[in-house]
């Protein structure tokens, strides 16, 4: 299931149709820790300098620009490569 979401995020064709819960689960499975402040979900990882701040839309979807930000971080830090110990 998580590999499917990872492929959708990396594919870039359905940024407006990614469910917020799927995106947060993907980040958790990639080893990110999170904290919540109101409706802001803040994801961080020790070896990654970028912080991801997500807010859900009312319809349960993730914001398209935030999906793009997640994709950029996954690619920048090569979190999608098979050589890492990532459970997807």
Task: Tell me the C-alpha distance between 81 and 53, whole Å.
Answer: 23
Total-model pTM: 0.89
Block residue for tokens 């359905």 = 14
The band of 1, judged by pLDDT with boundaries at 50, 70 and 90, is low
Average pLDDT, the chain: 91
Q: What percent of the chain has pLDDT over 70?
A: 91
Task: Tell me the C-alpha distance between 79 and 56, whole Å.
Answer: 23
Task: Tell me the C-alpha distance between 46 and 20, whole Å.
Answer: 23
Considering the segment(s) 2-76 as one domain, its CATH architecture is 2-Layer Sandwich (3.30)
Span 35-72, pLDDT tens digits: 999 999 999 999 999 999 999 999 999 999 999 999 99
């Amino acid at each position: 299931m998580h590999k499917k979401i990872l492929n959708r995020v990396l594919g870039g064709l359905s940024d407006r149709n990614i469910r917020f819960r799927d995106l947060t689960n993907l980040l958790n499975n990639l080893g990110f820790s999170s904290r919540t402040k109101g409706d802001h979900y803040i994801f961080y990882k020790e070896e990654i300098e970028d912080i991801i701040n997500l807010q859900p839309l009312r319809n349960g979807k993730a914001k398209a620009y935030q999906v793009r930000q997640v994709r950029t971080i996954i690619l920048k830090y090569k979190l999608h490569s098979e050589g890492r110990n990532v459970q997807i």
